[in-house]
Structure 1
Amino acid sequence: MVKEKEVQQAYEVAKSRYAELGVDTEQAIHRLQTVSLSINCWQGDDVSGFLNPNGELTGGIGVSGHYPGKARTPDELTADLHEGLSLIPGTHKVQLHTIYAVADHKKELNEVGPDDFKYWVDWAKQEGVGLDMNPTFFSHPMVKHNFTLASPDEAVRRYWIEVGKRSREIANYFGESLGQQAINNFWIPDGFKDNPIDKVDPRRRLLNSLDEIFTKKFDEKNTIESVEGKLFGTGIESYTVGSHLFYNNYAISRHKLWTIDVGHWHPTEDVSDKFSSFLLFGKGLMLHVSRPVRWDSDHVVIMDDALMRITRTLVRDNELARTNIGLDFFDATINRISGWVVSARATQKALLQAMLAPIDDLKKAELNFDFTQRLAETEELKSYPFGAVWDEFCLRNNVPVGLDWLKPIRKYEQEVLFKRS
């Protein structure tokens, strides 16, 4: 058990060390407190949802592992989320999908509306969190030949256009009810496994479908849309209709947010380099922070170099206000709640370390071509005691410090998760 006095003593030492560089640790703590992450609910139930929980996952999505304790009902999933959120410092949001509707009778995806998410809004009010939305365009018989909004079959397009329209009503309901903007993220799995003859018409159909979905105007204080591209997916290796460039252009021309999912790019590609290029022209970003070990493998987020590059860029370029940070992964080989806690805390740690730097001084050195100072300081900062500042941040938020967060999870595991059949 970490002792409070020892944490505070270590923090005072760290505070003094950083002050020597002109860094105010109190200011960094305050800034981190304002950052709200969007936690992905689907980690808790292996992307099953409640509309058809026994259905087969499609659309390039696959969950590995059979760790006991998967949430099977709305009450189980919200109880698990409560446990996870209680171990993450700060106030956050929870991302939902259409499949997480809690309906009083069996419904199709294109029939789900705001009333079917009253359960979640009531829970969010009690929990003190916001909600974000994602229309579900996968794992359904109406995904015909790997196509939804870009399908040449008008009946298929009409079905999915209605799903998209209803998701916007749901997201607006979230915003109105909870008093904070709900991001509604659009991703579709459309494409071809082999080389297509026609590359433009599918994208024209997608363009028209999206434009129809977004015709109705909603107050942006309640909700705003983001659009998410992908290089390729399982079953659409040769051609993805909703490519990165398509959605980049769509977001700029339609005044939407552009979603960058870290797992949708090559694992060696630095996605953080795209932020400044887009934000000079675009409205804002939605991030899906994941860890692509072998492409879009959606591993639990850890504090690796890729995450550090992302958070450093957001902090150094002062773009946190225009960037929404969501988590996106699913891992059933481990305790599912631990995935939320590890990922959220890793993201917060990376943000904090980025904030604990003399950014203005470093920019000034760079502007004067003093690359020696830039290199020396950024390298030394890697071994500065940011962990002591993180522990203090956890202490002030009344969450466990260090590895102490694992103890309540193990207890919950024995008393709750392992008793689920």
Structure 2
Amino acid sequence: MSYQSAKDAFAEWGVDTEAAMEALARIPISVHCWQGDDVVGFEGQSGASGGGIQATGNHPGRARTPDELRADLEFAYSMIPGKHRLNLHAFYMDTEETPDRDEIEYRHFAPWVDWAREQGIGLDFNPTFFAHTKADDNLTLSHPDKGIRDFWIEHGKRSREIAAKMGKELGTAAVNNIWVPDGSKDIPVDRMAARQRLEASLDQMLAPAHDAAHLRDAVESKLFGIGVEAMTVGSHEFYLGYAIRKGTLLCLDMGHFHPTENIADKLSSVALSVDELLLHVSRPMRWDSDHVILLDDAIRGMAQELVFADLLGRTHIGLDFFDATISRTAAWVIGVRNMQKALLEALLMPQARLKEAEAALDFTTRFMLTEELKDMPFSTVWAEFCARNERPCGKRLIDELAGYQTRVADRGR
């Protein structure tokens, strides 16, 4: 089918394909750096556990240096339509120095900012509360030892300073997302004390004021993790309350809830109480297993909720998966493009007509509309969007991804 035919078909439903593509072009996706190197980082910490962070597989081509990671990212961005962002963790510094986490400074990340400026993309940031000897107890900001808490509080403060400087230098606010692995492997007797320590540490960490034009702070919950099966200090309820009281963003990670929970359903609920949201889009095949996202019902439901609840302007969309069983660059490209496809499908739905039927309690019409829409030529509009952005589709995309993987393997990675 030609694009003009698809455009006419959607017009019969009252949908403007040009407006949908224009809206999609304005939505940046924050690409997570840790897919490119299996969450190893570049600081050279040794003897530290991963804090429940595990990548499965050993596919050839893992990035071993910042330059290799940036080269892989440049290729990935060249396969993805639109302008996007990079989500950087604190242990991805680019420096010959060896600062500990409580000693990091902006200069250790300046090469990333220079590169982002050249690429025309924004940066987001994350303090790294795992893969460190002071996190081996799976306790950081809630640790009973004040010295360890102070170490991580200082790391968090410095991370916020770095993120704010990144935002200022690039002219777009950096989202600084806070996730800690803290919890208990077996049943604790004093949950309150741990959560009081976490709250107090967060308060200290977030006390220094930064311009909101440069920095947005987010807090991220988790159901449980490896080694903290009995209790996670930073639960969903903890961080939901904290975000409401303190005015931070709330991060919802699709892998951080019970497998039967519908994360899309949470968006409109929490949006009534927090100003902005951060999404970590993942595919939790078995809970938080962080598979590359598919264009499936979960992703489509998330995208539709963002569009229909008018939350795109209040939501920062990032990805969070790490699969080392396949080409890491291909994983980035497939994941981002699937998120974009889901958003485009939602933007191409006759929203007003669907809402009108629902408001009239005409559930038959609503049902028929949603089913008939499945036959609409969404893929034709997507192909047009890619063509206008000079990005490949179909066999050409597959050939480009395979060719890059071969070139990387030939270089000895």
TM over 0.5: yes
Distance across 1 between alignment mates of 2:397 and 2:33: 19
Structure 1, gaps ≥5 residues long: 1-8
On the 8 A contact 2:251/2:277 being kept in 1, the answer is yes
How many Å apart are 1:418 and its aligned residue? 3.5
Which deviates more from structure 2 when the two are superposed, residues 133-142 or residues 57-66? 57-66
Q: Does 2:133 align with 1:155?
A: no
How many Å apart are 1:417 and its aligned residue? 3.3
**CA 397–53 in structure 1, closer or farther in 2 if over 3 Å, else same:** farther
Distance across 2 between alignment mates of 1:166 and 1:369: 53
SS in 2 for 1:213: helix
| Equivalent AA in structure 2 for residue 226 of structure 1 | A
Which residue, 382, 385, 408 being the options, matches 2:374?
382
1:91-111 CA distance string (max 9 Å, x none):
000000110011221111111
SS in 1 for 2:208: coil
On the 8 A contact 1:48/1:54 being kept in 2, the answer is no
Q: TM-score, normalization: structure 2?
A: 0.98
Aligned residue pairs: how many?
413
Which residue, 137, 140, 149 being the options, matches 1:145?
137
Q: Does 2:90 align with 1:98?
A: yes
Residues 55-204 of structure 1: pairs in structure 2 closer than 5 A:
57-204=49-196
**CA 338–270 in structure 1, closer or farther in 2 if over 3 Å, else same:** same
Which deviates more from structure 2 when the two are superposed, residues 361-370 or residues 152-161? 361-370
How many Å apart are 1:113 and its aligned residue? 1.2
Distance across 2 between alignment mates of 1:198 and 1:56: 27
SS in 2 for 1:184: strand
| Equivalent AA in structure 2 for residue 222 of structure 1 | H
1:106-142 CA distance string (max 9 Å, x none):
1111111111110100000111111000000001000
**CA 187–147 in structure 1, closer or farther in 2 if over 3 Å, else same:** same
Distance across 2 between alignment mates of 1:380 and 1:131: 40
Structure 2, gaps ≥5 residues long: none
| Equivalent AA in structure 1 for residue 278 of structure 2 | M
1:184-212 CA distance string (max 9 Å, x none):
00000001011101010100000000000
Match of 2:245 in 1: 253
Q: Does 2:49 align with 1:39?
A: no
Q: TM-score, normalization: structure 1?
A: 0.96
Distance across 1 between alignment mates of 2:324 and 2:403: 19
Structure 1 segments of 4+ aligned residues over 3 angstroms from their partners: 53-57
Identical-pair percentage: 49
How many Å apart are 1:56 and its aligned residue? 5.2
**CA 144–152 in structure 1, closer or farther in 2 if over 3 Å, else same:** farther
Match of 1:6 in 2: none
1:10-56 CA distance string (max 9 Å, x none):
21111111100100000100000000000001100011111027665
Distance across 1 between alignment mates of 2:228 and 2:170: 38
Which residue, 33, 43, 49 being the options, matches 2:41?
49
On the 8 A contact 2:51/2:136 being kept in 1, the answer is no
SS in 2 for 1:263: coil
1:221-277 CA distance string (max 9 Å, x none):
111100000010010000000000000000110000000000001222101111111
1:54-79 CA distance string (max 9 Å, x none):
66552111111110010001110000
**CA 56–85 in structure 1, closer or farther in 2 if over 3 Å, else same:** farther
Q: Does 2:384 align with 1:392?
A: yes
| Equivalent AA in structure 1 for residue 212 of structure 2 | E
Distance across 1 between alignment mates of 2:111 and 2:78: 20
On the 8 A contact 2:263/2:302 being kept in 1, the answer is yes
Match of 1:262 in 2: 254
Distance across 2 between alignment mates of 1:115 and 1:402: 42
**CA 346–45 in structure 1, closer or farther in 2 if over 3 Å, else same:** same
| Equivalent AA in structure 2 for residue 171 of structure 1 | A
Match of 1:5 in 2: none
Aligned-CA RMSD value: 1.1
SS in 2 for 1:264: coil
Match of 1:355 in 2: 347
Distance across 2 between alignment mates of 1:52 and 1:235: 23
1:141-196 CA distance string (max 9 Å, x none):
00142100000000100110011000001110111110001000000000101110
Which residue, 197, 201, 205 being the options, matches 1:213?
205
Match of 2:285 in 1: 293
On the 8 A contact 2:89/2:128 being kept in 1, the answer is yes
Distance across 2 between alignment mates of 1:106 and 1:181: 27
